[in-house]
Structure 1
Amino acid sequence: MADEGIRRDEPGEVPKQFQNEQASAETSTLMNVLGYGPHIRQARIEAYKALDRYNTAGSRGTQTWITTGSKAEGLTSFLESDRDHLIVTESVICLEDGVDSSSVPVETTIFRSCSRISYSGHCRLLLEKYGTTINRKVYNALCDDGFGRGLLSSDLYVNQWLNFQQSEGTVQHERAGPSLSSTVHRIDLDVVQALHFYCPSILTRWAARHRYWPSPDVVREVVSLGAFVSPVGVKGSDYEHVEWRMCFNTGENVLINNLNDTQVKLYVLLKMVKKDVLKPQKKEVTSFTVKNIVLWIAENNPHSLFHERSLFHWLHKGLHALRVAIDTKELPYYLIPGRNLMAACALDHEQKRSWIATIDEMMTEGPRMVLRLPKIRQAIIAHPEPLRWYSGRRIETEMLTLIRINRIRINRMNLDMDEDTDVIIQALFRRQKEILWEVGMRMIMEGARVIDVENVWRNMLM
């Protein structure tokens, strides 16, 4: 399993006529109304890409900002869930063993990855050469490997960022693995400080796999984007404090954004199952787990079989794959199959039995399984006209907010521009107020007594 990932269906195993076709199509349409359609997803993706460009430009070449997770995938609204960022230091590069370093610019500090005695997908970083410009936090995170060589400590590196002076209005939270969590003006952020990692052999092995998906052009794009190392080791490892984890965030963003509509909705439904049905307390199963299941399913099955009338067929397949991963505690990472994503999950025997029983019940329920998912169930119960009316205004409010946030960011970069007199910002703000007033008035007509516009806005975007 570690070598092949999730098993490819045998020829003839997928019937020409899918079961529950009508229910699949209706659920797909309903998910469009709820904000999971391709147009709103693409608008979110482009908005966060633009925000990354502005943040990167604002660092003046010292850092690259990359939005990751559900925001980069266009799958959550503005205030729904945390906002995940990878911030990559530009003056440092880590090279896979055997890669020639002669072409690396002299100002760049070089580390050489050592993965021979680390778990798959992890490595230790040995200093090969100081650059003419040395990042202070990198320098302060160096320790001795016992043989007189510089070894970069992931633990020391993260802890330095905890002591970083925060801007006004920022509340710093406890460290969670490689992530530094904070709340900035009521928006929750998770930031991982990472380094560039050049690993051609790993990406070449991934690219050479036989697959139905993604296309050769997408494979080449993923390879060209390279990799990163994030400061976190394998839990319980003797070298945890000096281990770094290989990650491919930009490539994974491209892969998710090249799934077709049905594959994306499969991903969303499985994430809902994880959050609202299994309800893990200690990250025994995560959204990353579910993402990898969907990527393996997409790779191993003909693309033509994924359409709106086959959604429940693939949801059944996804639940089966999740059940197997929980039962066997094995799920290979899509980019590095030798890394088992379930290896360190804190899943005890009773919890495993309970989750397997729950998934078995869902698989026998057919389309009725979606009634276990609160967001889907509420939408099914709601009258179609008010649901479409409200969803349309909620989506427009979110788009106006994203455009306004990016416009404000541009103004702050161009000091000669004034937000209070920017006609575009003012027009966006006026239209947003019109929508909030319209929603508030409808709430009053339906029995609400006190309307707080700020709360209406927050609730619409959560």
Structure 2
Amino acid sequence: MCTLMNCLGYGPHIRQARRDAHRERDRLMNAQEPGTKTVITSGSKAEGLTRMYESDMDMMYVVEGIMCLENGVDSDKLPRETTVFTLNTGVCYHGHSRLNLLGRLGDIIPSIIRDALCEDENWRVFLSSALLVDAQSDIAPTENEIRHERAGPSMPSSSGPIHTDNVFSLRCHCPVILSRWAERTRHWPPPDIVRKVVTMGSFVTPVGFKGSEYQHLEWRICFNTGENELMSSLNNTQVYIYVLLKMVVKDVLKPVKKEITSYTVKNIVLWLAENNPQAQFNESNLFYWIREGLEKLRTAILKIELPYYMIPERNLMAACGLDDGKKCTWENTITDMMNEGSNTLLRLPRIRKAIISHPEPLMWYNKKRIETELLHLNLWNRIIQCKNKNGVVNMSNPMLQALFSRRCDLVIEVHTRMNRKGSRLNDLIKIGDMMLM
């Protein structure tokens, strides 16, 4: 199974290559367009766990010149041009907050922030999450971009096969919350990773707690960059557990209204890693830990309760909208899977197809597919480097030409073999896109 996971593109080398490529893309984009916001790739792309077109790209746009502070944190050390908000967590559900203006505005306030300010009956100034998302939707789309309906804090969009979740966020300094996390007794992560996560701080994103009377004013505290670091420090077996459990949710349970998400699974794996000795997570124990993960998932569904890894008081299952009928169905399905042992993975289409085609066709195809993906990641970054100030790409760049040429050669190789096996698909662009899905 671990060999199959490597073949399917979840091995350590391809994961690291993906992480490096997306970090480099962020660096290039921020260097090319310095100003009011910083781009950070998060989620499965930043973790190196999904192909180019396999799932949505989670893009976070951090508004610069703004800082949100926990109560009691001194703001005097911040530059005078910084606009400061305080976290008012006492009136919100755990992990959420209202943002009160601390009495000073920076020299330059981005319009997306200024337009989201509002007052209550006592003339206190708040930053409205709902108004900020509305202001975000007013930003003109780029060429070929299609906007979709809001989803939580995100304004999703698509351009061809690329689907993106776009979230505006603000930097947040909450040392008390992070110190409570750091001081927990744990087997994992090691002390150096704990210290690194603490230094990365946190963010607030524009979404309130479902059902709250003041949802339009509330923001959710999150730790995107810290969680990226935590996921990167998992060992191979823990990564495979995460990927396989995500497949269970997507391909077996198939939630329609996001009652359970990949983020639910991520938190289950983080808790498993923290509460158990690292030495126990090895290839020979993979199926044991998958069963443990399924049991944690079943418990979360039955009890409608799963503590958020960074702020345990926040229940990730709260207000998830899971009805009794679906709860019962999923409980029975997961119980059956736990009783099936290793055969349960045959329920997963990608694993089943890999087993059928193993070893030679699978090894050959995935070698071509992984090279294609790495070329495409390099192409993305090279295109950014070859753009002029007007956004026009210099297509005559030798490196760009070489990358396009090699990618074309790989797609033709795959197309030729497909035809020999009886396929009649001759659309090379479609074949190239399918290799990245």
Instruction: Return the TM-score normalized by structure 2.
Output: 0.98
Instruction: Render the CA deviation track for 1:25-55: whole Å, top value 9, x for unaligned.
Output: xx11111001110101110011111111112
Q: Is the 8 A contact 1:124 1:244 kept in 2?
A: yes
The within-5 A match list for 1:27-38 is 27-38=1-12
Paired with 1:98 and 1:386, the residues of 2 have a C-alpha distance of: 61
Count of paired positions: 436
Does 2:39 match 1:86? no
Paired with 2:308 and 2:382, the residues of 1 have a C-alpha distance of: 38
Instruction: Render the CA deviation track for 1:114-154: whole Å, top value 9, x for unaligned.
Output: 01110000000001110111121111111112211111110
Greater mean alpha carbon deviation, residues 167-176 or residues 316-325: 167-176
Residue of structure 2 equivalent to 1:326: 301
Paired with 1:275 and 1:52, the residues of 2 have a C-alpha distance of: 28
Paired with 1:416 and 1:339, the residues of 2 have a C-alpha distance of: 44
Does 2:212 match 1:230? no
Paired with 2:414 and 2:172, the residues of 1 have a C-alpha distance of: 48
Greater mean alpha carbon deviation, residues 443-452 or residues 431-440: 443-452
Residue of structure 2 equivalent to 1:218: 193
The within-5 A match list for 1:200-219 is 200-219=175-194
Residue of structure 1 equivalent to 2:86: 112
Q: Is the 8 A contact 1:58 1:413 kept in 2?
A: no
Paired with 1:362 and 1:244, the residues of 2 have a C-alpha distance of: 38
Q: What is the one-letter code of the residue matched to 2:22?
A: Y
Q: Is the 8 A contact 2:53 2:161 kept in 1?
A: no
| Aligned with 1:45 (options 2, 14, 19) | 19
Displacement of 1:433: 1.2
Paired with 1:301 and 1:47, the residues of 2 have a C-alpha distance of: 32
Unaligned runs of 5+ in 2: none
Percent same amino acid at aligned positions? 53
Change (3 A) 1:456 1:348: same
Residue of structure 2 equivalent to 1:375: 350
Residue of structure 2 equivalent to 1:69: 43
| Aligned with 2:420 (options 415, 427, 445) | 445
Instruction: Return the TM-score normalized by structure 1.
Output: 0.93
Residue of structure 2 equivalent to 1:160: 135
Secondary structure of 1:175's partner? Answer: coil
Paired with 1:397 and 1:101, the residues of 2 have a C-alpha distance of: 49
Instruction: Render the CA deviation track for 1:275-324: whole Å, top value 9, x for unaligned.
Output: 01110011111100000000000000000111111110100110010011
Q: Is the 8 A contact 2:383 2:393 kept in 1?
A: no
Q: Is the 8 A contact 2:68 2:86 kept in 1?
A: yes
Paired with 2:109 and 2:211, the residues of 1 have a C-alpha distance of: 31
Q: What is the one-letter code of the residue matched to 1:151?
A: F
Secondary structure of 1:448's partner? Answer: coil
Residue of structure 1 equivalent to 2:430: 455
Displacement of 1:429: 1.2
| Aligned with 1:299 (options 274, 284, 292) | 274
Per chain length, whose mean CA-contact separation is higher, i.e. which structure has more relative contact order (CA < 8 Å, sep 6+)? 1
Q: What is the one-letter code of the residue matched to 2:415?
A: G
Paired with 1:285 and 1:255, the residues of 2 have a C-alpha distance of: 21
Residue of structure 2 equivalent to 1:138: 113
Paired with 1:450 and 1:191, the residues of 2 have a C-alpha distance of: 34
Paired with 2:91 and 2:388, the residues of 1 have a C-alpha distance of: 46
Instruction: Render the CA deviation track for 1:336-382: whole Å, top value 9, x for unaligned.
Output: 00000001111111111111111110001000000010000111111
Q: Which runs of 4+ in 1 moved over 2 A?
A: 413-421
Q: What is the one-letter code of the residue matched to 2:420?
A: M
Residue of structure 2 equivalent to 1:290: 265
Paired with 1:251 and 1:146, the residues of 2 have a C-alpha distance of: 37
Q: Is the 8 A contact 1:173 1:180 kept in 2?
A: yes
Displacement of 1:61: 3.2
Paired with 1:175 and 1:330, the residues of 2 have a C-alpha distance of: 26
